[in-house]
């Protein structure tokens, strides 16, 4: 009963916005919202809707994996109350991202609440270590996801000066709201995850709970975003020592991997499938299969013998004009692609870790081992007989790996971060374009300020002394 009480109270508190204080300054009723036992703490962390779902999706929606036709964009459902999602798709420089901000700090609040309560227990108490490790993991994961939207990408030369986001380390609403720096933020993320890895168990009863492998995976993703490729390779390697299974896409009827139960005949991956290390999702309402069309150049880049061409995509038609296209249905969350509000998988899976390790090895000049990782993955994606790829140089290997990274990990909440990271390298920098109703919108160039989204103005900036991101 305490579990439901905790969830209701914390939800109620976070939903009641004060007109005099920013979102981060809201004061909870601590006498009612605080868990009292280790079981209460675990229950708070097991709130799937809060701790595992609702992670930011505006980066994915602003990236280049899909497009809307003019009519679909005009009549997008669910946007009658707010223009946020439509503004985001067209990179409106004044666009707001309120829910993206609030959801992240909701996770941080719950993690901090658990960490505060744990102070009265002993590390020798049963489940103490796993609960503390989980809370640290969730806090770091939320900070990381917020950083991808509201901070500049991590650049070692400027990270000490670039603005971060508020590092809330307690549930106390009186804690000062200051932004700090990008370096301080990433130092906290890596510190939390490093401590979490030491505390988390190798085995967890369900993949919605963080494991030791998930901690290593989160560190690998974080170090990759920081362009710290040496540490990213080490963390990916540690993760793959614990979990390295890859699904053979030639055998999608295997109930342990994927199934075909949708009445429309769509193949869909099972939630918690064999590759999943940690389950997390984002509610990306625009991605119903009959609305969002996959970029045609991206779809055409899959060869005819590539199983992903049928496992990831289905034929779709513009509901207004009947024009054919392709929709993405390869979601690792197991969501029915016929639903209007599918949840995109943004957790960790082994295919991402192979690609992280491969990229880092290529960047280190280890051409053979980099291609070995790529071939291990591709052998499970291509129809047999598969012939191992080769590379003429480490740079050639890197180019191949990055191409497959985009094709393998699309709609996983990673493309926005990859664009921000790769835009720092002239070899891979890309300018994005939107064309709606015969109007060409201002392109998103590699150094565009719009790669850093605005912190909610009404909910935070106008009510605190927090600095806004420049425009």
Q: What is the pLDDT of residues 388-407, one digit of tens each?
A: 999 999 999 999 999 999 99
Residue 85 has pLDDT above 50, yes or no: yes
**Which of helix, strand or coil describes residue 277?**
strand
Residue-level pLDDT at 79:
44
Residue-level pLDDT at 442:
95
Distance, in Å, from the CA atom of 368 to the CA atom of 244, rounded to the nearest integer, reads: 19
Distance, in Å, from the CA atom of 90 to the CA atom of 107, rounded to the nearest integer, reads: 28
* C-alpha pair distances (Å), 414 with each of 4, 234, 323: 33, 20, 29
User: pLDDT grade, residue 22 (50/70/90)?
Assistant: confident
Cα angle, residue 239 at apex, residues 237 and 241 outer, rounded to 5° = 70
Tell me the pLDDT tens digit for each residue of 206-240: 999 999 999 999 999 999 999 999 999 999 999 99
Distance, in Å, from the CA atom of 407 to the CA atom of 377, rounded to the nearest integer, reads: 12
Domains, in order of start, for the chain: 2-249+349-433 (1.25.40.390)
> The tokens of 458 are what?
């009404």
Q: Are 311 and 270 in contact (CB under 8 A)?
A: no
Residue 81 has pLDDT above 80, yes or no: no
Sequence-ordered list of residues with C-beta below 8 angstroms from that of 233, at least 6 positions apart, any chain: 220, 356, 357, 360, 361, 364
Q: Which residues pair with 382 in a beta bridge?
A: 306
Residue-level pLDDT at 74:
83
Q: In 22-96, which ranges are continuous DSSP H helix? A: 30-33, 38-45, 48-51, 58-62, 70-74, 84-89
Residue 277 has pLDDT above 90, yes or no: yes
**Which of helix, strand or coil describes residue 468?**
coil
Residue 363 has pLDDT above 90, yes or no: yes
Distance, in Å, from the CA atom of 138 to the CA atom of 257, rounded to the nearest integer, reads: 26
Sign for the CA dihedral angle at 283, 268, 217, 351 comes to: negative
């Amino acid at each position: 009963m305490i579990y439901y009480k905790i969830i209701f109270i914390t939800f109620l508190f976070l939903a009641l916005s004060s007109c005099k204080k920013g979102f981060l300054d809201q004061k909870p009723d601590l006498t009612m919202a605080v868990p009292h036992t280790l079981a209460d703490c675990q229950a708070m962390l097991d709130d799937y809707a809060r701790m595992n779902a609702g992670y930011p999706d505006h980066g994915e929606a602003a990236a280049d994996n899909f497009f809307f036709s003019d009519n679909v964009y005009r009549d997008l459902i669910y946007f009658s109350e707010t223009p946020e999602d439509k503004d985001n798709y067209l990179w409106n420089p004044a666009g707001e991202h309120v829910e993206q901000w609030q959801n992240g700090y909701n996770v941080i609040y719950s993690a901090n609440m658990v960490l505060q309560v744990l102070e009265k227990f002993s590390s020798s108490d049963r489940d103490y270590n796993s609960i503390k490790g989980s809370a640290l993991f969730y806090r770091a994961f939320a900070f990381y996801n917020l950083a991808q939207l509201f901070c500049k990408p991590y650049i070692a030369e400027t990270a000490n000066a670039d603005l971060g986001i508020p590092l809330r380390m307690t549930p106390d609403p009186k804690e000062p709201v200051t932004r700090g720096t990008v370096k301080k933020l990433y130092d906290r993320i890596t510190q939390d995850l490093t401590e979490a890895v030491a505390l988390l168990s190798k085995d967890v009863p369900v993949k919605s709970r963080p494991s030791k492998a998930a901690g290593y995976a989160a560190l690998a993703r974080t170090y990759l975003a920081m362009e710290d490729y040496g540490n990213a390779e080490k963390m990916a390697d540690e993760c793959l020592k614990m979990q390295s299974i890859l699904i053979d896409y030639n055998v999608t009827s295997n109930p342990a991997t994927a199934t075909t139960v949708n009445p429309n005949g769509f193949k869909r991956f099972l939630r918690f499938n064999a590759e999943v290390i940690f389950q997390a999702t984002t509610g990306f309402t625009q991605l119903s299969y009959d609305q969002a069309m996959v970029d045609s150049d991206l779809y055409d880049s899959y060869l005819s013998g590539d199983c992903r061409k049928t496992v990831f995509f289905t034929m779709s038609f513009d509901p207004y004009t009947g024009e054919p296209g392709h929709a993405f249905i390869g979601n690792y969350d197991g969501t029915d692609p016929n639903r209007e509000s599918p949840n995109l998988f943004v957790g960790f899976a082994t295919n991402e870790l192979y690609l992280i390790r491969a990229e880092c090895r290529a960047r280190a000049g280890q051409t053979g081992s980099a291609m070995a990782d790529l071939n291990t993955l591709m052998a499970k994606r291509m129809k047999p007989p598969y012939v191992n790829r080769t590379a003429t140089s480490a740079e050639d290997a890197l180019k191949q790996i990055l191409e497959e990274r985009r094709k393998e990990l699309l709609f996983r909440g990673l493309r926005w971060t990859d664009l921000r990271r790769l835009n720092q390298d002239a070899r891979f920098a890309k300018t994005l374009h939107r064309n709606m109703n015969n109007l060409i919108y201002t392109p998103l160039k590699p150094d565009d300020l719009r790669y850093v989204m605005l912190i909610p103005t009404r909910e935070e900036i106008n009510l605190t002394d927090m600095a806004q991101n420049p425009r």
